[in-house]
A and B are shown apart, each in its own frame.
Chain A
Amino acid sequence: MNAPILEMKNITKEFPGVKALSDVSFTVETGEIHCLVGENGAGKSTLMKVLSGVYPHGDYTGDILLNGEIQGFRHINDSEKAGIAIIYQELALIPEMTVFENIFLGHEISNSLVVNWNETIKQAGEMLKKVKLDINPATKVKDLGIGTQQLVEIAKALSKDVKLLILDEPTSSLNEQDSENLLQLLRDLKEHGVTSIMISHKLKEVIAIADSVTVLRDGQTICSLHARDGEITENVLIKHMVGREINNIYPPKKHIPTQEVILEVKNWNARNPSLGRDILKDVNFKLNKGEIIGLAGLIGSGRTELALSIFGNPGNFQISGDFYLNGKKQKFNHPKEAITAGISYVSEDRKGNGLILIQDVKQNISLANLKELAEHWVVNSNAEIKVANKYKTELNIKTPSVEQKVSNLSGGNQQKVCLGKWLFVKPNILILDEPTRGIDVGAKFEIYTIMTELVRQGMSIIMISSELPEVLGMSDRIYIVASGKIAGELKAQEATQEKIMKLATN
């Protein structure tokens, strides 16, 4: 057992009306990979913000010891100087700047006033080598994939001579391949003496990589587990996270899909004129009434683009091909027309284009179907509250009232608000794009249960997901998308993770 690099003792942090952390203690040994797990709202991110000085010293009670010395960080700069670097879920790179500019942003290599660009580029290249990234440092960040951007963030942290690297759900938007690369990189960094703390919802990754795991629940430390004692298993983790044992994480299937085709896409091609390349090539697929189909594939394979191209094409792609709804050929020029025709699309990016964060729960739920609540264009606000309360109860949205701003809700509850919004449109076809990304185990199960109930009532669902167990657990049929093409179709019974990955990476 190594000496602890970090000890957080009896940390308590209160927000007005809420105790976010209550007497939390957290110890990380030098040179280990320590995972922090817990449901959404358990206090993981708050704890990391206390550590990094986002919440300044004095704003919380308790002590932070780094290498045995008490620290009082007043600002994120203080913790960076002490060798702590945080990489957030939402990346903090500047898209219009090059990789080398980003890596040394804020601690530029300069003599007195003038930046030494040659030295910057040279050192940036060395940092990229450390994270095993073979790209030109002069590439603009906006031209990189999300997985590559994450590695650039890590390179940036390394350039600051980091001792303790904190990653907040680093793999939540990565595909399997990129995730595996990232985990391997963390192992390599460990060999070179970098200690890492990783917040994650993906328990398989946690089990694969963690030397130790600390479980938080409701702002309290539940337990610390160590791989050397053989304590880290999925069931144990889930039990501690939710306080109960979950044996079956997918609800039993009650529905029987029909053979009645409700949606069909034939010879579908799409070109993104602003990128100047084809994003969908000769796509053919169909959806039966009362069926869940899964669209599996790597990030960037074109699944979201496929969904958007049939949902009124808001990205203004150039499209050719035929689209049939209930056997009738259709063409939508705006999401409005798709919604009217009975299609809903729940976005993969809740904060970006799913919700209006500054508005409250009821306004978000009613937005896509305000006309139903209006008479002569005047909105009946009482009816609106009633509808919002109905979905609050049905979907078990945890909020004090429907007049709460959605920015104050946890990720899982925000996702349920999105779902409520799109169910209120009363669709026949529901497209769910990464429906459980970044939400906790309990909320996931609730969303699966809702999906099962919806198809039982006759709705048809297209689910886009990067989590293979989810695709396998929920779908009746699976289409695998690779490089803008349908690479294969599998029935639920014959599909395995290996088969899907093989098709997706071909």
Chain B
Amino acid sequence: MDKKHGETQFKAAHGLLVAFLTLIVVLHALGIYLFTSGFLLTRIVLDHRSECAAPPADGAAGSPQRGCWHPKTFEKAVVVLIDALRYDFTVPQPAEQAHHFHNALTVLHETAVAQPRQAFLLPFIADAPTATLQRLKGLTTGTLPTFVDAGSNFAGTAIDEDNLVSQLRRARKTIVHLGDDTWHALFPGHFDAELTRAYDSFNVWDLHTVDNGVSEHVFPLMHAANASKWDVVIAHYLGVDHAGHRYGPDHPAMAAKLRQMDAVIRDMIRQLDDSTLLVVMGDHGMDAKGDHGGESDDEIQAALWMYSKQPRFGRSSPAYAAPPQTAKERSVAQIDLVPTLSLLLGLPIPFNNLGRPIEEAFIGPAGADYHNLATVSRLTAAQIYRYQEEMASVQSMDEVARASSLASFGFANDAWDAAVKAADAGRFAHVYELYTVYQQETLDICKALWASFDLPRMLNGVTILTLTLVLLAVYARGVAGDVSELSPQLLSRGGFGALASSLIGAALPEVSRQHSIIYAVAMGSNLGIASSFWSLRRRLLFLLPTTIWGYLSATFAILLSVGFAANSFTIWEDEILLHFLSTFGLLSTLSSFRQPNMTDRVLGVYHSVLFVLLSRLASLSRLCREEQMPYCQSTYYASATSSTSATWQLVLPLIVALLLPTFIRGYYDGTLSYQNSAIMWLGFGLRFGLLLSAVYWTLDAADDGEWYPSYGGMLKTLKTVIAQVTLAIAIGVGAPTFIWAKPFLNIEEGPPHTHKPHPSKQIVPKGPNSGASIAVLGYGNVHGSRYAILITIWYLALALVQKPMGAGALALCAWQIFSLLEIVATNQLASSAIGPVILSLMGSFHFFKTGHQATLSSIQWESAFIPLHTIRYPWSPLLVVMNTFGAQILCAVAVPALVLWKQQPRKKGLLGDVARAVATHILFYASVSLATTMWAGHLRRHLMLYRIFSPRFMMGAMVLLVVDLVSVFVAVVGMRVSSLSVAEVFGVTM
């Protein structure tokens, strides 16, 4: 009866704890959601392509020969991209006000003034981010790049939406590319293989290699003898950009560079033939230090210049004869290049384009051909309308703004019809204006949708995460006594706060309803929890660490979190984690030497040294990210350029299957816990499962490498079945073992002197009068051994979905976990923060060692197909999550074992200790997640946002949520199972 009562009490306390921790998970999720919805700008990429034969507006459909939607003006084009050509570099200045970058590149301004019918020069405004890759996307697709251009090709950098280059290719034009190799990442296979010359864009210290290479090849091409070999030449010069990065703009090296460009362009003008268009432009500008990436005026103000041997261009007003003096006047947007170039070369306008035709290019030499201008504007607007229609069906837009823009389109069309009917040339100027209004409105809608961060949402998200972090820190490290008994109060106040404030949130009128409700609920809940702590303030401890271990834990968490502000520390996170783990191992070695008990000392030193060695061994498994080159060598796959395993790596899962169960058994043997079901599972089930997983990866390699081509289909089926069986062993054998096994105890009977003393044995006299006594084997680690089975079950499932090298790394991780348990036990650190924090570091470290990086491109999507032939929800995403975050999951599962390992069966307050350890573990990831979130938000205009900070933020958020869920629903719930099992024998101890 009493036992029953105790059990009920434990279950209730446990249930409330799970509920409270779930509330923390929800708060994390709300904070992350709110920030993400304001930060991660998503644009859905439409796969549609504009067709030559299908103009968007009625009118004569042309042909590729004469021009698709509109008669073409030029046959061919030479497009010169001078990286970072700022507009003011091209405008002459009086000598006394001139900087080094002035009056060096004069040819553009000079020709635009002297030959206004052949040339024009305009400020060319870039959309942020002003990084070359993003700019090239904008300059060729006519749209605004966002972080997540969600399309069919999620992982690669190649542009798969409609763009100028692919339209040229579809029109069977020969495109030659010279210079910056970024183009090849964006448009693989689009350029003429023979004539194209790509150069590495990486070395910003080298001002001349790329430029000299481009010039060396561009001039022979422009020679009349070679004119028939190509249609479009794209020459991308990098020297000006590199001079900016290296010296800054106001430096003699910049002047020299610009003079060199001046000479190049003058040579080109000389060699140009009558049917070829010459375009010179910058993709972005540079700030006063010569860097770029953000959206300051200096960074977005580039220059655009077009030139033709024949009079093709004009000005709509004599006032516009000279190019604008500053970039504030008469500027055009960079996306305007897309329709302009398309129509000048007779191509269809790329489907996603949002730019408008540039007036100077279509107004005619007389500066009055408004009919032509209105025609091209109408075509562009009609294509934008077509795009907008498609877009509205997949992404929700602001209805009011959209209706207004649609009305503008209607007005413009009406005006066009009226002007055509009246055959009144004078009315087309107005028509042109109306189409421009429509284009501008649509562009503004899209910008609001894609290109502006929602700062209030981001700030409120960060506020929620910060407050939750503080409360979690208090819960984990700042309350004296058993925290598990606080659950009812924390839960009720947190819940009440959420309910009460949701009403307030709903009543707030200013911001969007969803935003205000989320914010109010999360804040209310947080305040409720805070009020609960306030009422317990007598029990609160000062949060400053009191031991060297506490300081170490805090140092690791803080250093790592602060370091994420720097791209270098983010890039080299794996090495930093190794450094931290070795530091812990070294300190635990020293600490073990301090132990008075000889057994503890030896065990502690042994496992500490082992821990460090295993970390270093695991560190040999690397998958380098691009930014780590050339200081990193990938070993995860057969070579740096492949994504298949080397043959020798197939041995790794086999070695793991043979050795790891034996090693884990060693830890069980050490506490005499290798009994009953543990023998069955560790000795047989786990080993067999791991062997099957090794077989799977061998079959996979055989299938991939076509070792037996005639058995391909059979291999595929067989390997899938084997993967399914492996998972079935984990779920069907492992899980039941964990749920229903009796504690791993055994009994030895005999006279007292026959029992050798052992810390894990309990020797009790058999009866009052009997001379014999009973030894209970495994007594000293009954909780730990019982719980740790759960780690091995998860290990089996997670190991299957890792590549062979990853299986090796994850095995080292599992081995390290058990060593850590011993270190913690022998150094009496079960209640310290260091154990859970080291598990977090290990989870993060082995994330890298299982072939991952904080980049989208390192996600191993193919792991979804290990036990399945096709994509199935929810299993496929779950498998990818297990593959990606396998290490973090395994380490999160292991957290309760830190408290339970080598713990006496009747130890009091274990539930509270587990709650504290789990909360500490989560706390580490929460602080990393908050830090990466804040840095990403703060550095939202940083050059490296898209490459480094955003991916790291996304990873931090994902990891936090995954670890949250695993900690609460696997670790804490698992602890209930093992505790109840131990209670069957020893009774419930709260």
Do A and B share a complex? Answer: no
